[in-house]
Structure 1
C-alpha cells in the first residue's frame, strides 16, 4: 500500500509559501482569518492509484504561520459528489459533518466551513481573504456599483450570504458565468480569488487588494469620519497612558462581570483619530460586519461618551451606567433573534471598550485573544474609513450577525476547545522573579495558564525570564526597586496596561545578610526591612487597590521563611523582618477578606540550589556559621530535616500554586512550611 502522507509536494509547498506570505501582511487578512487551497494528486493509501485531492487550511489555523499539519486533505471526487446530496440552504449546516467522509487518509486538520468554496470552484488554487480594503467595498452601501467601477468585469460582486455550502455553490457559479474574472467581492464579508497556478492565484489576490486600496485612496474623501470633536483629541502620551492605567481595573471589572477576562490596551493612531471624530458614535453603534470581526469583538463596542479631560470619578460613574445599559441592550438583541434551539446567551459584557482621547481596551479569555480582538477592531475601523470615504458604511443586518454569533457550528467549535487551565484569565505579578524562587514561581504560574508580570531589580534578568515564558502574550518584564513607592506604582501601571489588571501577587523580593548581633549594623537592619517589610507592604497596598477596583477577588502570597518562627543564630535582622512579613499576612487576611482577597504565606527553608539570595553571599555566610562547605550547604540543610530531602525553588512554586490554583478557595491567613520538616519551625 502507498503512504497516505505522500502528497504532491510541489502543490503543498507552493500553497504553504503563498499562505505564509499572504498571512504575514495584515493588509491582506486578519489573524486566523481567511483560507487558501491547492488541488493536486497523491496516491490512494489503499490502491496506490493517483487520486485528485485538495489541501485547504483547516479550521482555526492562521495563514501567516500555517504548516502542513494545519491543512485538511480531502478527496475531490467525494467533495464534488456532495452537490448531489445537498439538501438546500435551510439544511446546509449538515454538510460540514459530511466533509469528514471526504477526507483522504487520516485527513489532517479539521475542515473549515469554507471548504466547499475551495472545492467547488473550478480552479486549481483558491484564496479567500479578509483585507480591509476589500471589506470596505463589501460593506459600502453601494458596494456592487463600486466594485464594478473599481474592477470592471475582472472582479464580480457576490451578495451577502452566510459562509457555508451554498456560498461555495454561488461562487462556483459566478466563476463559471464570468470566465474573464479573477475573483469576487463577497458582500459584507471579504474577497475570493483564484488561479491556474499558485503564483497566479497569489498575484490575483494581491491585485484585488492593492487595486481596492488605491481606489479608496484616490476616490475617497479626505475626512471620512467627519470633523474633529472639540475636546475629544488625544491626550499627550504620558497623560494618556496614566489615565488608561487608572481606568484599567474598572474597565476589566466591566468586561468581566460574566466571567474573568484578560485585557489589552492600544492607543494606536487609527483608534485615537477615529475617537476624535464626529461620526464615531454613529459608526461604532453600527457594529462590525465581517464574521471574523464580530465573532471576536461582539456586534458593537461600549463607547464612553465623555471627553478625556472629564474628572476620573465622573468618567467612572458614566462607564458603570453605560455598562448597565450595554448589558440590557445585548440581552434585548439576544431576545430579538434567538430561536428555541439557539445556544444560551454566552455573556452580555463588552469585548471592546473605547475611551476617547485615551484608546481602546479589548478583552478575551487570554492575552492573545484579547490582543487579536483589538486588532480586529482596528481592522473594522479601517473598513469603516474606506466605506465612508467612497460611500457610507452599511454592515450586514443585525439578524445575520446573530445567526453567525449563535451559530450551532460556532457553538460546536467552542465545545471542542480544551478545558481552561486552573489559572486561566488570571494575572500575576511576582517580585524578585528574575532568578531563584521567583523565577520558578513565574514558570509555574504561566504553565498553569496565568499571565505574569516578571518584576525584578535586575531588568535584564527580568526580561530574560519573560522571554523564556513565551513573550508578551504570556509575560512582560518590569524593572522595580520594591523600596520605591514610585517604581511600584509604575510596575502596577505597566501590569494593568499589559494585561488589564492584577489578580495574584507574590511578595518574593528579598535579601539576606547573616551576621551576629554585635556585627549587625543599622544599615544592615534598615536595608533588609526596607526591601522585605516595607517593600511587601508597598506592593500589597498597590495590589489591593487594583483588586478592590476590579471586584474579582484576588490572592496575595508572601514568601516568608522558616526563620519567621524559628530562632537561629547570627541573623537577627533577617529573621525579624521575616516575622514582620508573617504578621502582615495575618493582618491583611483580616482586612481584605471582605473584598474576596485571600492573603497567605509560605515558609521555605534551605533553598540553596538556584537561589539568588544564597548565590549573593548568604550561602557562604550560612555555611561558615554551620562549619560546612558552601557547595554542600543544601545537603546539610536536607540532613537536618525530618524528610531528609533538599528543598528546591520548584517546591516553593508548587506551594504558591496550591494556594492559588482553585482548590483552597476558603483558605486565608495560612502559612505553609516548605522546609522538608523542621520540628522547631512547626506552627502552633
Structure 2
C-alpha cells in the first residue's frame, strides 16, 4: 500500500521527534501535515489533514496511526461549534470529516492542527517547555526567553476552543513560530516539515539552555539529613523487602503490576528539602497525571528508617491517601461523572530507596514511572527559575474524569485471564518450563524465566517479547542465597509475585545398586530441597502482599508409580508431591493455593530426556530412543503422546479463577496411566 508523500514525511518527522525523550514523553503530543490527494470519487485534488490519532506514540507512529480528515469539512466545523459548554461534542463531529476508510480515531487535539494556518504543526510535551509552562511567572519568562517568536497561551483544556485560540494567535503574530501552552506543553509550526521540526527543537533547546544557565543551584532546596540515597546494594535489598507490601496496598481496589526506579533524578529529588511540598502539588501536564494520578504517595520517613518501620508507616499513609483521593473525587464529581476508578496510588516514593510505579501491565507501570521522572524534571526547571505552579485541582479532575477519557478507557480490550499476574518459573529455559512460561505470557501474565544458565534463561525470555513481558534470571534452586536473589530480582522487575512454578529438575536413571550417594543428593537438592527453598522464599512475598497466589509443583507420575531403575528420581518426586499437600494446608489461610501436576513420558523438547535420561529409559524398556515417545503413548489409556504444552495447559487451568476453590490437588497429565491413578 502506497503512502502519500506528505504523510510519509510526517511519519518520519514524528518518529525523529518522538524517539528523543527530551522532546516529548511516551505517547505524548501529536503532529500533523496538510497536503493534497486525488479524491477517488471526483478525480479532483482534495486538501487533507493528516494528524496523529488518539492513543498513538510519535516515536513508533506508522501510517495506520494517522487520522485523515477533509480539511474543508474540518474547518467548516467552526460554523457549528456550540461553545465551551458542549466542547466534547466536537470530537464526535470529527468523524463526519474523515477521508477514506481505516485510520486512527481523531484525538481531542485535532482542532489545534486543522485550524492553525500552517502546513505542518507539532504539539509536544518536552520537560523544558513544561517547566516554563508551569512556572508561576510563565508569561514573563516566555517573553524573556523567546522574545516575540513564541507566544504564551493561558491554560485551557485541550479541545476545539484551544484550537481556535492558537489559530487566532498565529494570525495575530505572523512573526511567531509557536506557543507555550500554560500548564501543558508547546506547539510549533512551519511551512515545511523541516521548518516545523526545526522550530519545535529551537523552542525545546532554547528553554533547556536558559534553564541550565539561569537556574538557582539547589532548585529543590538543601539536602535533608538522613534522606541521602542508600548505597546501591542496600537500596535494592530494601526495595525488594518493601515491594510486596507496597504492591499489595496499590492493589487494594484492583491488582496491578509494578516497576521500580532508583535513578539519580528520583533519589536526588527525595533527598531534598522541598520534595514534600512539591509532591503534594502533584503533576500538571495532562499526559502526566492521567498515568500517575494527580499526586504520589510519599513515605515521610528518612532513608535511615528500617524496612519494618517503613512497612508499618505505609499502612497509615495508604489509608490517608485513599481518604484524600476520595475527598478529591467528591469535591469535583457531578451526577454525570464516571465512577471513581480506584483510590490507590500509582506512584509510591520512598526516600533513599526510589520510586515504585504501577499499572495494568508492566509497560504501563514502567511508563507511569517515566512520566513521574518527567514531572520531577519539570518541577526542577520551574523551581530553578521561579515557583512551580501546576494547573488547579478542578482542572485536573475535569481531565482525569473527562467523558472522552472514560470513552477511551472503555474501548480498551478486555484483559486476558492472567492479566496482572506475576509468575516465576524455574528450569524454564527449555522443555516443560519453557512451554509453561510461553502459555502464561500468552494468557496475559508477566514471567521471570529462571534457569541455572543465565544465558539460556535470557534467550528463552527474549523469544517471548520485551523485558516488559519476560525476563531471564539465573537461579541455582539448591542454593538458598541464589533462590532469594532470584525472588528479589523478580520482585524488583515486576513489583511482586503471584504464581510460582517449581519445575527445575533432572534425573539419573539408575538401579538401586548403581545409585550413588552423590546421585541421590544431586536429585534431592535440585527438586526436593530446591522446591522447598523456592516455595519458602516465595511464600514470604505472597504473605506480605496479602493478594493470595498460586504455587504449582511439576511433580511426576513417578511420585505415585513404582517403576524399575528410578529410585532417586521417584523418591524426590514423592517428596515434592507431599510438599504440595503440606503447603496447601499451611498457606491456605493466606489465600495461597498449592497444587501439583503429574506428567509422564514428556520426551519431546525435554531437557531431562536429552541429557541421557531418555537413552537410559529406552534401554530399560528395550526400545530405540527415538521411539520412546511412541512407546510411552501406547502404554497409556488414551494412546496419546504427552508434550510440554499439555503440562503448560494444566498449569494455566489450575491458576485461573475457575479453580479458585481448589488446593492440594495433583493433576495427572499422562494420557492415562492406571497404575498412577490417585487413590
1:406-447 per-residue CA deviation (whole Å, 9 max, x = no partner) reads 001000000000000000001000000011000000000001
1:31 equivalent to 2:26? Answer yes
Q: Deviations over 1:20-50 (max 9, x none)?
A: 0000000000000000001111121322221
Equivalent-residue separation in structure 2 for 1:620 and 1:70 (angstroms): 54
1:656 alignment counterpart: 651
Partner of residue 527, structure 1:
522
Counterpart in 2 of 1:511? 506
Give yes or no for contact 1:73–1:107 (8 Å, CA) kept in 2. Answer: no
1:78 corresponding residue in structure 2: 73
SS at structure 1 position matched to 2:290? helix
User: 1:642-681 residue pairs with structure 2 within 5 A?
Assistant: 642-681=637-676
CA distance in 1, matches of 2:189, 2:136: 26
Q: Classify the secondary structure of the residue corresponding to 1:73.
A: strand
Equivalent in 300, 303, 309 of residue 304 of structure 2: 309
* TM, length-normalised to structure 2: 0.99
CA distance in 1, matches of 2:171, 2:565: 89
Give me the whole-angstrom Cα distance separating, in 2, the residues matched to 1:319 and 1:671.
Answer: 39
Matched, 1:329 2:329: no
CA distance in 1, matches of 2:52, 2:408: 16
Contact 1:20 1:65 in 2 (8 A): yes
Determine helix, strand or coil for the equivalent of 1:418.
coil
Counterpart residue number, 1:154: 149
The question of whether the paired residues in 1 share the 8 Å contact of 2:64 and 2:102 is answered with no
In 2, Cα distance between equivalents of 1:47 and 1:616: 70
Displacement after TM superposition at 1:6 (Å): 6.0
Contact 1:6 / 1:43 at 8 angstroms: preserved in 2?
no
Contact 1:432 1:438 in 2 (8 A): yes
Separation in 1 of the partners of 2:143 and 2:411?
Answer: 42
Measured in 2, the distance between the counterparts of 1:215 and 1:526 equals 67
Say whether 1:381 aligns with 2:381: no
Partner in structure 2 of residue 454 of structure 1: 449
Aligned partners of 1:663, 1:468: CA distance in 2, in Å? 29
Report if aligned partners of 1:74, 1:107 keep a CA contact under 8 Å in 2.
no
Distance (Å, rounded) in 1 between the aligned partners of 2:462 and 2:47: 45
- TM-score normalized by the length of structure 1: 0.99
Matched residue SS, 2:349: strand
Q: 1:547: Cα distance to partner?
A: 0.3
Structure 1: stretches of 5+ with no match in the other structure: none
Q: Contact 1:6–1:42 at 8 Å: present in 2 too?
A: no
CA distance in 2: counterparts of 1:283 and 1:667, whole angstroms: 48
Superposed CA deviations along residues 230-266 of structure 1, whole A, max 9, x for unmatched, are 1100001110111001100011011110011100001
Q: Aligned ranges for residues 335-350 of structure 1 at < 5 Å?
A: 335-350=330-345
* 2:60 counterpart of 1:65: yes
2:410 alignment counterpart: 415
Residue from 366, 369, 382 that aligns with 2:364: 369
Residues 1:256 and 2:256 aligned together: no
Structure 2 counterpart SS, 1:299? coil
Q: CA deviation at 1:661?
A: 2.3
Structure 2: gaps of 5 or more residues: none
CA distance in 1, matches of 2:102, 2:189: 23
For these two proteins, the number of residue pairs brought into alignment is: 679
Q: Distance in 2 between matches of 1:254 and 1:305?
A: 16
Q: Matched residues in 2 for 1:149 and 1:551: separation? A: 54
SS at match of 2:435: helix
Q: Within 1, Cα distance between the matches of 2:36 and 2:648?
A: 53
Secondary structure of the structure 2 residue equivalent to 1:42 = strand
Q: Which residue of 2 aligns with 1:616?
A: 611
Q: 2:428 aligns with which of 430, 433, 442?
A: 433
| Structure 1 residue ranges, 4+ long, deviating more than 6 angstroms after superposition | none
SS at match of 1:505: strand
* SS state at 2:100 partner: strand
In structure 2, the residue matched to 1:164 is 159
TM-superposition CA deviations, 1:626-663 (whole Å, max 9, x none): 01111111011111111111110011000000101221
Output the aligned Cα RMSD. Answer: 0.8
Deviation at 1:62, TM superposition (A): 0.5
- C-alpha displacement of 1:107: 4.3
Deviation at 1:367, TM superposition (A): 0.3
**Structure 1 residue aligned with 2:84, among 89, 93, 97?**
89
**In structure 2, what is the equivalent of residue 630 of structure 1?**
625
**Alignment partners' CA distance in 2, 1:537 and 1:498:** 23
The CA deviation at 1:362 is 0.4
Q: What does residue range 563-642 of structure 1 map to in structure 2 within 5 Å? A: 563-642=558-637
- For the 8 Å contact 1:430–1:455, the answer to whether it is kept is yes
Q: How does 1:209-220 map to 2 (within 5 A)?
A: 209-220=204-215
Hey, what's the Cα distance between the residues in 2 that align with 1:351 and 1:197?
41
Partner of 2:99: 104
Shift of 1:310: 1.0
User: 1:172-571 maps to which residues of 2 (within 5 A)?
Assistant: 172-571=167-566
What does the per-residue CA deviation read over 1:144-190, in whole Å, with 9 as the maximum and x for residues that have no partner?
Answer: 00000000000000000001111111111110110110000000000
